[in-house]
Amino acid sequence: MRSADSPLPEEHRERHRASNHANITKMSTDDSPTTDTAPTPRRTAVIALGGNALSPPGERSSIHDQFRHTRESLGLLVELALDGWDLCLVHGNGPQVGDELVRNETASDEVAPLPLGVLVAATAGWIGYMIQQSIQNALRQAGSDRSAVSIITQVKVGRDDPALAKPTKFIGHSIPDERAARLAAEGVAVKKDSHGAWRRVVGSPKPLAIPELEAIRAQLATGTIVVACGGGGVPVHRDAFLGWEGVDAVVDKDLAAAVLARDLGASLLLILTDIDAVYLDYGTPSQRALRTLEVADAERYDREGAFGEGSMAPKVRAAVDFVRATGGRAIITELSRGLEAVGGEAGTTITLENA
């Protein structure tokens, strides 16, 4: 059975609705028209899309490649937009911010390098541009006049977060052994990933709040699709004298999306990855997908180390944080099955309790 917030069948979609408020005209018993001014309930979804969707592993993606991948990744957003959802998209930037650091190195003799926090903001700008342009073009082709906008978003973190002193988040592409040794000698943190390849690692503090929350909420209220917390958002802390100050780190985009969804009061958090669902014993002959998962069970499995620290575990934790705080629904699935998952037919759905 289709849930109340699942996509409607194609023939019932309102393709030109710019927001979820509507006046419903109906006939009374004497056939005279009456107007019910009660607004249609708003449905807000926050969608987390990985930077690898735009720059896949193993591909040295040019900007033209990334535009192409962006266009290919937006079918789900267009379908949900046509179905009347208020949408906020959070994208990752792991490959892209790593490339920006390489540009820093290459051009360091010519121009002053930019700090990591500024590079996060830069990637949020140009990736946001790619996404909003591609969404606008796709919506026009589908007959919708809804708009899209990108907001460079700061994310509050703790200045004393221990993660800042223990770099663990992989960014960028793989690095040859010789270059990895040179970077390490220069004090740059590098580490081998699960595939045995050297990559940069940076601090990744826990996101606490979104300073631009009300600006995002105001745009959503107009029916505008918002790209926010790009690259996990630009990490900042509150200085007692100066106000907001940047932090050189990269926030996990799934955790940032969960905070944003929580504070917006979203009904759905959709985390898109390269695996169709959350699995137990993943990568073994006995692997099995978890189609539904209660928060208590998810936390128990996580304590037992069932999800993989560098891959699925942070996504499950983000989903659990959102569901526990709001009572909403979180889904983890691969991009190609996103629409099915929203309809309850794919992916892993995490709730407080299974119905």
* Sign of the alpha-carbon torsion through 347, 57, 133, 214: positive
DSSP state of 44: E
Specify the DSSP element, H or E, that contains 88. Answer: strand 86-91
Q: What angle do the packed helices 116-141 and 75-82 form, to 10 degrees?
A: 60
Catalytic: 156? Answer: no
Give the rounded distance of the alpha carbon of 260 from its chain centre: 10
Q: How far apart are CA 62 and CA 308, in angstroms?
A: 31
Give residues with Cβ within 8 angstroms of 193, minimum separation 6. Answer: 170, 174, 199, 310
DSSP state of 308: I
Q: How far apart are CA 349 and CA 332, in angstroms?
A: 7
Catalytic: 203? Answer: no
- Out of 20, 50, 51, 230, the active site residue is 51
Length of the chain: 355
**Phi–psi pair at 172, nearest 5 degrees:** 75, 180
Catalytic: 192? Answer: no
- Out of 253, 328, 338, 347, the active site residue is 253
- Out of 52, 75, 192, 343, the active site residue is 52
Q: How far apart are CA 355 and CA 353, in angstroms?
A: 6
User: For residue 15, what are the CA distances in angstroms to 79, 81, 182?
Assistant: 9, 8, 55
Catalytic: 166? Answer: no
- Out of 94, 117, 169, 338, the active site residue is 169
- The CB density around residue 236, as the number of other CB atoms within 10 Å, is 18
Q: How far apart are CA 210 and CA 64, in angstroms?
A: 31
Catalytic: 169? Answer: yes
Q: What is the CA radius of gyration of the chain?
A: 21
- Out of 50, 233, 315, 328, the active site residue is 315
Which residues are catalytically annotated?
51-52, 169, 253, 315
